[in-house]
Structure 1
Amino acid sequence: MPHIATSSNCLEKLRRNMNCCPLKCSRGLTHIDALVLLSLRRMRMNNDSKHLVAVLLKDVEARVELVTSSHYWFFATYFPDYLQHRSADFQREMFEISERSDLSLAVIMAFRGSAKSTIMTMSYPIWAIMGKQQKKFVIIASQTQQQARNHLLNIRRELESNNLLKSDLGPFTEATDEWGQMALYIPKYDARILAVSAEQGVRGVRNGAHRPDLIIADDVEDINSTRTKESRDKTFNWWSGELVPAGDVGSRQIVIGNLLHEDSLLMRLKTKIENNEIDGNFYSWPIVDDNGNILWTGKFPDEKAIKKEKRKIGNRIAWEREYMLHLVPDDDQIIERGMIHYYDELPIALQGQYNDLIIGVDLAISESNKADYTTMIPLSILGRGDEQRIYVMPNITNKRMSFPDTIDRLRELNRFYCYPKFYIEQTAYQAAVVQQLKTEGFDVIGVSPHSDKRSRLNMIADKIQRGVILFPRTGAEDLITQLVGFGIEKHDDLVDALTTAVLTFAVSESETSYVRVGTWEDAGIANPFRRTIAPRGRDYWNRLLDDWNEATSGFWD
């Protein structure tokens, strides 16, 4: 697009004539002339910016028509005080995303301070109601009710204090909604904005006849809420089971945040979009891309500015995750995601190749919601020494079970895998299970651990990293999650079952190991145990045939 020079005097005149009240905002976007300049470029009406400004100043009808048809222009016209730095291409793309009526779900992952909330959570709900989209019921969800109310407060402040906005598109009024949550109601547009917190129930909410037609989830997770799989599942189930179904047919969902965890809500939605399980687009904008390009040069003009910002953060992991959008392990993480090796198909044992099947078991005989899980992991072992590979089978048990159900499951596995060897961690009452299985003829060994869980996982970490232990593409997701998140995840029962099996098998293998020297032929010596049998002559077989005929026909020759 051609460059359009916009004089500062002209912009100042525009501000004075627009009667726009300056707003104190800690989440500023960009330099005041930046977004107006970008808007002028996009309009392509006239290269004479002074003429365009004159039109905006004098022709209210033209201005209203322009801002209601373009969120980009809407922001540039009514929110110039948010512009403290020259805007970036990715911010321009955010406006385009908001204007797309064909996009039902947009998942936006951008670095902290990228203005994603200013554009999508402050400006977009107002434009979606007053602009061409004509939304009637907007829900803004954040992790806490206070955060959601803060977003609502920013919107109310604009509706109350932005004189040009009120003059062009007002009047606006505000009311507390009947559900006991703070909301904004705009009678002129018969529209409502409701603030909710994560995990809050929203079933059946309506604005008159209208169900939610725009749902914006802004930072519904934080570091603490993504630490455990249980918490991540809870957030995802709330999103997919409560928030999305609350919307009407054709409603839009915008999910905003940054990278907190590889299994966070945003990353799960990303995976589902990539696997074509749901419709939507995923966008990712780090502060510096993989090619070393700074994405917001208006705010961070060079590498020196980036380094200054990084020093201000002062936390390597936070910088990599929330600014660079890189998945990085914690300092005490034992197993990293990149250490995991996969197999696509279980190989068939070659003739003469060592082949065994073992099952690691960690018992927790209780069905209480607070109890640990009973876990059973089958492992197929092929080869010995440097050629040995341990294949984690996908038929993994991971559930809360009673004593009878546990015994029944062990019997099923015993039959299915044709009497494998079971390694069961035994402490206290678990020894009774081992004895019960032995009386039933199971090949079972009770294992009493002599080191802590972290030490045991460290012992098999090298086997995982070198690809000695391999995992199926599907069927071991929970095990891998516990391995990668060990020490953070609430449950580690699958890790216990795996380490019990691998370490105990390694010990038993070393105790029964043997050395194969070779064959007698390799040594150049005749095998003394092999009988030398002379080949049978024709007369021998003829005599046998005669005997057979006599026995079967009753006639003698």
Structure 2
Amino acid sequence: MTLTVLTATVVSRMSMKIPMRGHDISELDAQVIDGFTRGLLAAKYDNPKPIPKFHHEMWELCCSDSPKVAIAAPRGHAKSTAITHAYILAEVLFRQKSFVLLVSDTEGQASEFLGDIKAELTGNDALRQTFKIKQILKDTETNIIVQFHDGGKFRIVAKGSEQKVRGLKWHGKRPDLIVGDDLENDEIVMNPDRRDKFRRWFMNALMPCGSDSCSVRLVGTILHLDSMLQRLIEDPTWVHLFYEAHNPDFSEILWREQWPKERLVAMRESYLAQNNPEGYSQEYLNQPVSIENAFFNKDYFLDFERQDGKWIKPNLEYFAAADFAISEKERADYTAIVVCGVDPEGIVYVVDARRGRWDADQIIEELITTQKMWQPNVFTFETAKIDKALGPFLDREMMRKKVYLNIVKMTPTQSKTMRARSIQAMHKSGSIRYDRDASWFPDFEGELLTVADSGPRGKHDDYLDAFAYVGLTIDQYWEAQSDEELEDEEYYDMIEDFSDQGRNQITGY
């Protein structure tokens, strides 16, 4: 179909819906944006492919009455072209919106998006003629005001994440459309303090800056399981779409014309060759951690050995560690305690894991309870946290209750994943058993499965920190029994078993 025919189709459909001045329409929808894109925009796209079904789904949701929409889509699938380019142009040219705030992770990226829009408004003659664009009244890298021949105007402002957006107005009105495209980057998501700062800006500055009838449309790729986009996908007050480039066996591919199986497989192989499986999983599957290549492989969460449903408990030496969340900055984190037992052959048993948002008194109570229950040989804490916050109070309570922890202090000098290498090696070798029937196990496993080589990608890493310190403690303080010690232990066990045989339950002999 020719450009002229497609343009005529769009204009004809608009006039059938409602005859208004210029190209006003009563309601924008995916069909209108499809015709608009194919008729007036696609000719300038780089090697354009047929518009995929999921673009129509995104357009339909963005054109809906839902005030808040979040979309997670994979890299290289033209999500910016569909939403930040075509959708914004359709909204302003069809007179549905007049004041747009376009936001990306940096001002430079946002201004590039705006530059592409401006190129259509200045250099696309068919578009200018169809929508009777007269002139651009204001033209900067981050701010344009466009006027139609009938006097109508619209404005688009480009901003970077965490820039000032409070009080943004035009002719006394606040933005009626906010479009965010990849608001987050690796620098923002990989640090919990930065994530918290970004969330405060998003909720306290960006969201309130729109008008009462403002539509918020966010599109991006999930970079972290505690990212803002992931949180919005899970938020029931937001409507969302979630896409991945393909399913596990490639039998379902999101955009086969652009990404045939061969191309996807080759792309995945290139990531694997660079030992970066989580990179592919993040960028193309919207899974920041590759389950198959997670730091803690799911297949090695081995259960306790049980008989008739009961754990066959070996002779164990216990070691414990705690990760404290006691500062004001850590108020959203948990304090976590992990206890492991080691048998004579070096098999590690994770027997207890607990966490909570406890105050200082509650933390000390949990430590005392853990000590009484398991009697660990060593209880490991991070030096700064125990010295600055809990040390004197814990000493007082140990003396008062006559329960004493053998405290070992460790100072973190490496990243979280480097500290966890020891316990990871034990896990990978099949040397750890987990109490899979315990109430704490699903959360414990769930957190560890969100850890990638590059660092934790989940909402919490408290169990990871405590577990890592247990691993370091076992390395430092547990010694395997010698052959002679094992033989002696087996001998005494045999004598004990023999002495029990034939004993009268009443007389004792």
Aligned residues of 1:166 and 1:172 also touching (Cα < 8 A): no
Equivalent residue in structure 1 for 2:106, among 144, 149, 153: 144
Task: Give the Cα separation in 2 of the matches to 1:244 and 1:75.
Answer: 29
Aligned residues of 2:98 and 2:153 also touching (Cα < 8 A): yes
Q: What is the number of equivalent residue pairs in this alignment?
A: 462
For 2:380, the equivalent position in structure 1 comes to 424
For 2:159, the equivalent position in structure 1 comes to 196
More strand by share: 2
Equivalent residue in structure 2 for 1:160, among 122, 125, 133: 122
Equivalent residue in structure 1 for 2:144, among 181, 184, 188: 184
Task: Give the Cα separation in 2 of the matches to 1:296 and 1:271.
Answer: 25
Which digits, 9 at most, give the CA deviation of each residue in 1:21-46, with x for residues without a partner? xxxxxxxxxxxxxxx59x97xx9x9x
Does residue 484 of the first structure (1) align with residue 451 of the second (2)?
yes
Aligned residues of 1:110 and 1:284 also touching (Cα < 8 A): yes
For 1:472, the equivalent position in structure 2 comes to 440
Equivalent residue in structure 2 for 1:88, among 42, 52, 60: 52
Task: Give the Cα separation in 1 of the matches to 2:328 and 2:228.
Answer: 27
- CA change 1:387–1:284 in 2 (3 A) is same
SS in 2 for 1:148: helix
Task: Give the Cα separation in 1 of the matches to 2:218 and 2:206.
Answer: 12
For 2:258, the equivalent position in structure 1 comes to 299
Shift of 1:292: 2.0
Task: Give the Cα separation in 1 of the matches to 2:52 and 2:116.
Answer: 23
Task: Give the Cα separation in 1 of the matches to 2:269 and 2:314.
Answer: 56
- CA change 1:201–1:391 in 2 (3 A) is farther
**1:48-447 equivalences in 2 (<5 Å):** 64=23, 69=28, 70-83=32-45, 84-100=48-64, 102-131=65-94, 134-169=96-131, 170-175=133-138, 182-187=142-147, 188-272=151-235, 277-286=236-245, 291-300=250-259, 302-307=260-265, 317=277, 318-329=279-290, 334-335=295-296, 360-361=321-322, 376-379=335-338, 390-395=351-356, 408=361, 411-413=364-366, 419=372, 421=375, 423-425=379-381, 439-440=399-400, 441-447=402-408
SS in 2 for 1:175: strand
For 1:534, the equivalent position in structure 2 comes to none
For 1:458, the equivalent position in structure 2 comes to 424
Letter in 1 for 2:220: G
Shift of 1:150: 0.7
**Deviating more after overlay: 443-452 vs 147-156:** 443-452
Letter in 2 for 1:194: V
**Deviating more after overlay: 487-496 vs 219-228:** 487-496
Task: Give the Cα separation in 2 of the matches to 1:93 and 1:364.
Answer: 43
Shift of 1:255: 1.5
- Relative to the length of structure 1, the TM-score reads 0.64
Letter in 2 for 1:498: F
For the pair shown, the structure with the greater C-alpha radius of gyration is 1
Shift of 1:205: 1.8
Aligned residues of 2:289 and 2:451 also touching (Cα < 8 A): no
For 2:306, the equivalent position in structure 1 comes to none
Task: Give the Cα separation in 1 of the matches to 2:268 and 2:144.
Answer: 38
Task: Give the Cα separation in 1 of the matches to 2:84 and 2:333.
Answer: 44
- CA change 1:520–1:103 in 2 (3 A) is same
SS in 1 for 2:336: strand
Shift of 1:307: 4.9
- Relative to the length of structure 2, the TM-score reads 0.69
Shift of 1:145: 0.5
- CA change 1:229–1:445 in 2 (3 A) is same
SS in 1 for 2:38: helix
Aligned residues of 1:87 and 1:298 also touching (Cα < 8 A): no
- CA change 1:256–1:140 in 2 (3 A) is same
Which digits, 9 at most, give the CA deviation of each residue in 1:467-517, with x for residues without a partner? 34767389879x937971576359977544334457758978989998866
Letter in 2 for 1:192: R
- CA change 1:164–1:292 in 2 (3 A) is same
For 2:501, the equivalent position in structure 1 comes to 523
Task: Give the Cα separation in 2 of the matches to 1:307 and 1:139.
Answer: 38
- CA change 1:142–1:376 in 2 (3 A) is closer
Aligned residues of 1:286 and 1:295 also touching (Cα < 8 A): yes
- CA change 1:231–1:460 in 2 (3 A) is farther
- CA change 1:243–1:65 in 2 (3 A) is closer
Aligned residues of 2:107 and 2:159 also touching (Cα < 8 A): yes
Aligned residues of 1:373 and 1:493 also touching (Cα < 8 A): no
Which digits, 9 at most, give the CA deviation of each residue in 1:315-345, with x for residues without a partner? 5534343234454449996325786799xxx
Q: How well do the aligned residues superpose, as a CA RMSD in angstroms?
A: 5.3
Aligned residues of 1:396 and 1:476 also touching (Cα < 8 A): no
Unaligned runs of 5+ in 1: 1-5, 16-35, 46-51, 343-348, 398-404, 532-557
- CA change 1:495–1:250 in 2 (3 A) is same
| Aligned residues with identical type, % of pairs | 20
